[in-house]
Each structure stands twice: as C-alpha cells, then as structure tokens.
Amino acid sequence: MLDPRLFRADLEFVTEQLNRRSFNFDSESYSELEAKRKAIQVKTQELQNERNSRSKAIGQAKARGEDVQPLLDQVQYLGDQLKATEAELSDIQSIMTALMEGIPNILDETVPVGKNEESNVEISRWGDKPEFAFEPKDHVDLGSNKGMSFELGAKIASARFVVLNGMLARLQRAIIQLMLDTHVSEHGYNETYVPFLVNADSLRGTGQLPKFEADLFKVNNDPTLYLIPTAEVPVTNIVRDVIIDAKDLPLKFVCHSPCFRSEAGAYGRDVRGMIRQHQFEKVEIVQIVKPDESRKAHEELTGHAEIILQKLKLPYRKVLLCAGDTGFSSAKTYDLEVWLPGQQAYREISSCSNFKDFQARRLQARWRNPETGKPELVHTLNGSGLAAGRTLIAVMENYQDADGNIQIPEALLPYMGGVTIL
C-alpha cells in the first residue's frame, strides 16, 4: 500500500507515477472521496468529543451526589446521531482502504518505460550456451524414460501436475539442498520452515489479496486458508505487526517450500512440460532491511540467486523488468532467465524484487530508528533462489548428451550418492 499522506501532499505526483505503469488512477474521484472522508471524520470526532466531555461531567456530578437526571436528558439525542456518523465514517474508510489496496507500488526511478516484457532491459549475460552436435531435446523427452510422468500427475491430481520418480526426484532434492546450503553457509541467510497454508491477513500483507485471489488455491473445508503461491507470503509475514530492533537488521531468511498456483490467467501458455505447474518447489530468499539499505540489498540478493546458476554452470541473463512487466507490489524487479536448449530460449528462473515500504505498510512491519526514536517502516525484498522445478529442467536440457543421458553438474555430485549420469 502507498502512503496516504503522499496522496494528500502531492496527488499529481502520485497520479503521474502510477501512469508510468499504465495504472489509470482517477485522482478526481479520489479527491472527492478524500474531502468527504475529512468532513465526516471531523464531524464524528466533534460528536465523540461532546459525548466524552458530557459523560465525564455526569460522572463528576454523580460523585458530588447531585441529581444527574437533567444532564442525562441533555445527552439523550447524542447517541443516535453519533452512531449514524460513525457508520458513515466507517463506510467511507472501508471504501478508501479497498481503493488503496488495489493501487500498485510506485516504481523506482531506474525502471525503464515499456508496456510488456518486450521492453525489458538486458543487464548482463553469463555462461556459454552449450553447443550440441545433435538436435537437443527438451526435458519432457529427456525425462520420459527417467521417471518424469505428466500422465501420472494428471491421473493423481489433474493437468499441470507432475510425478518425479527415482533419480530425477533425487536430482531435484539435490538442487534444493545445494541452494539451501549455499544461502545459509555462504550468504548468511537463516533457514526457516513455515506453514504452507496461510490466512487472508498474510496474503493481504504481501499484496496477493485482495486483487489476485483468482491465482490462489483455497482450502475447501476451511475458507480462511489458502495454499501459498510462494514462501514469500509466510516468510515475510514473520515480521507483520513487529517493531524490530535496529541491531537485528537486516533479517535474512531462506526457505524451501512447495508453491501452489492456479495459473488462472495462463491457460494456453507453456502447456508442455514442467515450466508452468500448479505445484512446484522453490527456495526463496527474503530480506528485511533499513530503508536506506534496500537498494544495495536488492543488488546483493539478486547476486545470491545468480551464484546458484553459476555454481551449476547454467547460462543465464539478467533482465531489468520494464514498468509494464513489474509486479503489483514491486518497485523494481530483476528477472534471471536461464537458457533452455529444448526451447532455444531464455526463461525466467528467478525474480528478485525490492518492495521498498509497500509491503511493510500493509504488514505494519517496522523498526525503531535510533535517530528519531520512532517506529518506521522497514523495506522488504525477496527473490527466488531459485525455482527448483525450472532448475531441474535447465540442468536436464543443458547437460544432455547425444544418447539422451544427463550428466550431473559437479556442484550437485555431493548430493547424488555417487551417481554421475542419468
């Protein structure tokens, strides 16, 4: 959520900024609402003040043993009037909250203009694309005789689920292990285990609700719970309603979890293979930092995700998302895109975002600034480090040979129990 004070102070600036990401903000009807809110709030508070002081007077008169009946008669009319204005105020407040919760974050000034992913800016490339003396297969073909079964996934659950058997399942586990170990031992993250079902408050805190409910899976027999679309939700919500000691910042969490997405808006896309599933594994890294450190933390965190790709010697590129492609809650996002020989394309494998105080305001996640002595909002960041399912297919496709075997990358050997080739 954006700072309501910003709207009052400089509505034009806000409108302009939101236009950058093609969000059409109707500042005129906002102003009307805001004026109405102010008037009703002032009126309500005046009435409340009157009630309070009169009630106090009644108490004092009673204490002196006076007859309070005349005073009671005077105050009779207040009740209904107050109840009515309070209801009016609460109505307009919930209208405004709903409005504010639907407004996306203001973009960082370094975010390039553009409507969609075609305007994203490539920042760097790493690694050499493998050259094959044969036509490289995609992971679906490579996996068909190695325990990857979409048929079983569909039988057991539905389309967009997969079953991994034997060494492929182990390979995915090895990938997850490598990521966790690297982030914990080399990057100083704190390993966390969290609920995979979360309540609406948590989803509102990180920005998935109220706007993106269609992307979530809900729990049938408990309508208060949702399956997590990413560990970002439970992990970032650790600091909801918390005032953090300055000396404890930055907080750095790493968390492996399954992720569940209904992919409501993507029915026709990536129907083949493991690219886009209803359930996938991911290792998520999250940082909670002081506001003036988030810029640096964002670069750092993105670098932490890159290290994994480098350890696996997977060619990738780093892309700065343009205005139109940057997510709702994010101020700035880098995507890491891994090279997939089976598709002859770079595909997203990590998304690293700086949310600045957007999530923190919804979460009421604050720190005590020693300079002011006051609680102030923190900045939150997160990134996939990495999506494990997509890493698995990247390994399969980049490490294939002419016979359809898969070499195990060196970095994963310690986790593979002596197996070097699948």
Partner RNA sequence: GGAGAGGUGGCUGAGCGGUCGAAAGCGGCGGUCUUGAAAACCGUUGAGGGUUUAUCCCCUCCCAGGGUUCGAAUCCCUGCUUCUCCGCCA
What are φ and ψ of residue 381, in 5° steps? -140, 155
Report the residue number, 64 or 269, with the smaller CB distance to RNA.
64
**What contacts 67, CB < 8 A, 6 or more positions away?**
none
Report the residue number, 38 or 155, with the smaller CB distance to RNA.
38
What are φ and ψ of residue 148, in 5° steps? -95, 115
Report the residue number, 139 or 366, with the smaller CB distance to RNA.
366
Is residue 58 close enough to count as binding RNA by CB under 7 A?
yes
Question: Minimum Å distance from CB 127 to RNA?
Answer: 42
If we measure between CA atoms, which residue out of 39, 34, 37 comes closest to residue 9? 34
* Location of structure tokens 């009946």: 69
What are φ and ψ of residue 240, in 5° steps? -60, 135
Question: Minimum Å distance from CB 74 to RNA?
Answer: 9
Among 16, 31, 38, 193, binds RNA (CB under 7 A): 38
Question: Minimum Å distance from CB 81 to RNA?
Answer: 11
Spatial contact of 409 and 398, defined as CB atoms under 8 Å apart: no
Kindly identify the residues of this chain, within the stretch 349-378, that bind RNA according to CB under 7 A.
373-375
Among 65, 67, 69, 76, binds RNA (CB under 7 A): 76
Q: Which stretch binds RNA (CB under 7 A): 45-53, 246-254, 281-289, 322-330?
A: 45-53
Q: Tokens representing 196?
A: 């995979």
Is residue 79 close enough to count as binding RNA by CB under 7 A?
yes
**78-101 and 27-63 are packed helices; what angle lies between their axes, rounded to 10 degrees?**
150
Widest pairwise Cα distance in the chain: 103
Report the residue number, 7 or 253, with the smaller CB distance to RNA.
7
**E strands, 341-420, where?**
345-356, 366-368, 375-377, 379-387
**Per-residue x/- mask for RNA, residues 224 to 253, rule CB under 7 A?**
-------------------x----------
The separation between the first and the last C-alpha atoms of the chain, rounded to the nearest angstrom, is 48
Is residue 42 close enough to count as binding RNA by CB under 7 A?
yes
If we measure between CA atoms, which residue out of 94, 100, 76 comes closest to residue 40? 94
Number of residues engaging RNA in binding (CB under 7 A): 33
Is residue 102 close enough to count as binding RNA by CB under 7 A?
no
Is residue 195 close enough to count as binding RNA by CB under 7 A?
no
Report the residue number, 57 or 154, with the smaller CB distance to RNA.
57
Is residue 51 close enough to count as binding RNA by CB under 7 A?
yes
Separation of alpha carbons 278 and 225, rounded Å: 17
Q: Which residues pair with 316 in a beta bridge?
A: 126, 338
Q: Write out the residues near RNA by the rule CB under 7 A.
A: 4-5, 8, 38, 41-42, 44-46, 48-49, 51-56, 58-60, 62-63, 68, 72, 75-76, 78-79, 90, 243, 373-375
